[in-house]
Amino acid sequence: MAKKFDPGVYRAILRVRQAYAFDVGGFLMRFYSYMMNIGTITMITLAGRSFLVAGLVSSAIALATFLISPRVSKLVDERGQHRVVPVAAVITLVGWALMLVTVGTGGPDWALFAAAVLMGFVPNPQALVRARWTYLIRTGRLGDAAPDVRTMFSYEGVLDDIGFMFSPSISIALATALFPTAGLLAGGISFAVGVTVLSLSRSTEPEPGWGAAPASGAGAARPRSVFRTSAVVRVLFLLMLFLGAFYGIFDTATVALAEELGDPNIASIILIIASFVSMIMGFVFGMICLRVPQHLQLVGAGVLIGCAYGSMALIDSAQSLFVVSTLGALFYAPFLIVCNATCERAVPSDRLTEAITWMNAGATCGMAFGPSLGGVIIDEMGAVASFDLGAVLAIAIPVTLALFYRLLKRNVRGEAPAEAAGGSPKE
């Protein structure tokens, strides 16, 4: 009889020694990705420029990443990681270097925006690493020792949380303690090392087209973007856009409410506790052996996170803020894990890098405009009113899932092909 809860599932992940190199490389790349926006704002403002310029440059980076990064991932799926990732990384690092030089020398503002566009070519480390894991598991290269795919997504989600938790803090600490460009300088070096390690790990790289049906004819047309061909990817993009928007508003409003209450330290304490709760829940979620159809897992996780963060409309004190923050954190990581697993079940294997990047682009887009909208409301009506807007966006997640339930049920595989064939452990 199959276990419903298995604390030992992560042993299968740690036994895959060939994954060590690309996981380390992806982890180092994550540090730069997560500190890119906040590190830029900190660097520019500490160098004496206005918060307006810093905010506009940060938004330009987010917009460029949203527009360009999915195209980079599409090329990765078509041509292979070792051909595309180093080139995209070089362009990104040129933009990074231009940004540092411009800030360090007091250069013109237009150069900052030019650098922001180049920084948008950043390869998506979360998608690159998850695509490698999926390739190793689905092709049977790991044999009977292959970990469960959802456990893998949980494991990678924990690494995401660690990077998300610590990299912005490290960036800010370095910039304030040493010199304005120190934080982003460290992030860029980490990114360069990570790209090198990942690119040299050729043996685990997915072969272009590895899970696709053979193309008919010698002059087969180049495949269109998975965003255009997959309705599920568009729904996931929308869900992640709402997630990024309400979470960005929640963070901004948390800081504003703490300042209104006269104790700014409340915000950092509450957000740190929420991050740890999310990380622990992501780790525990990977140990749960669910046999519920994938589309129902997505609906269930969406209802839970929507209702949890929808309760931010009730926030009016530090105590209620702590309760809502902790409650929401219980479902944040599981929702992301289920979204990634749903994406893997809905697209051809050879399009996974691009599909996951589109999901992340949705969150990036939400994080770009959410705090801006929240900031306007905070200035006009206060932090509590901003929480109300965040609650509406949170409730939009289960509403969206209800509207597209039939589409998800029809287009999300209940069982991956490799699992049906016995290639990997069943969920």
Q: Categorize the per-residue pLDDT at 423 as very low, low, confident or very high, splitting at 50, 70 and 90.
A: very low
183/313 same-domain check: no
Q: At how many degrees (to 10) do helices 20-46 and 51-79 cross?
A: 160
Alpha helices per DSSP H over 347-382:
352-381
Q: Does the structure show a pLDDT above 60 at 216?
A: no
- Domain span including residue 184: 20-124+159-207
DSSP conformational letter for 207: P
Residue 54 domain flag: yes
Residue 68 domain flag: yes
- How many angstroms separate the CA atoms of 48 and 39, rounded? 15
- How many angstroms separate the CA atoms of 101 and 307, rounded? 46
* b/e 273-285 (16+ beta carbons within 10 angstroms → b): ebbebbbebbbeb
171/239 same-domain check: no
Q: What is the pLDDT of residues 75-85, one digit of tens each?
A: 999 998 999 99
229/202 same-domain check: no
Residue 424 domain flag: no
Residue 278 domain flag: yes
250/329 same-domain check: yes
Which residues are paired to 5 by β-bridges? 288
Q: How many domains does the chain have?
A: 2
Q: What is the pLDDT of residues 132-177, one digit of tens each?
A: 999 998 888 887 777 888 788 888 888 888 887 788 778 878 888 8
CB 377 within 8 A of CB 256: no
Residue 182 domain flag: yes
Residue 153 domain flag: no
The pTM assigned to this predicted structure is 0.86
354/389 same-domain check: yes
- The predicted pLDDT at position 102 comes to 94
186/309 same-domain check: no
398/298 same-domain check: yes
Compute how many other C-beta atoms are within 10 angstroms of the C-beta atom of residue 424: 24
Q: Does the structure show a pLDDT above 90 at 91?
A: yes
CATH number of domain containing 384: 1.20.1250.20
**What are the φ and ψ backbone dihedral angles of 288, each rounded to 5 degrees?**
-85, 125
Residue 135 domain flag: no
Q: Does the structure show a pLDDT above 70 at 362?
A: yes
- The predicted pLDDT at position 11 comes to 85
Q: What is the pLDDT of residues 364-396, one digit of tens each?
A: 888 877 777 877 888 788 888 999 999 999 999
Tell which residue, 230, 251, 242, 225, has the closest CA to residue 362. Answer: 242
201/253 same-domain check: no
What is the overall mean pLDDT for the chain?
86
202/233 same-domain check: no
Which residues are paired to 288 by β-bridges? 5
202/313 same-domain check: no
Q: Categorize the per-residue pLDDT at 254 as very low, low, confident or very high, splitting at 50, 70 and 90.
A: confident
376/260 same-domain check: yes
CB 97 within 8 A of CB 123: no
Residue 76 domain flag: yes
236/319 same-domain check: yes
Q: Categorize the per-residue pLDDT at 415 as very low, low, confident or very high, splitting at 50, 70 and 90.
A: low
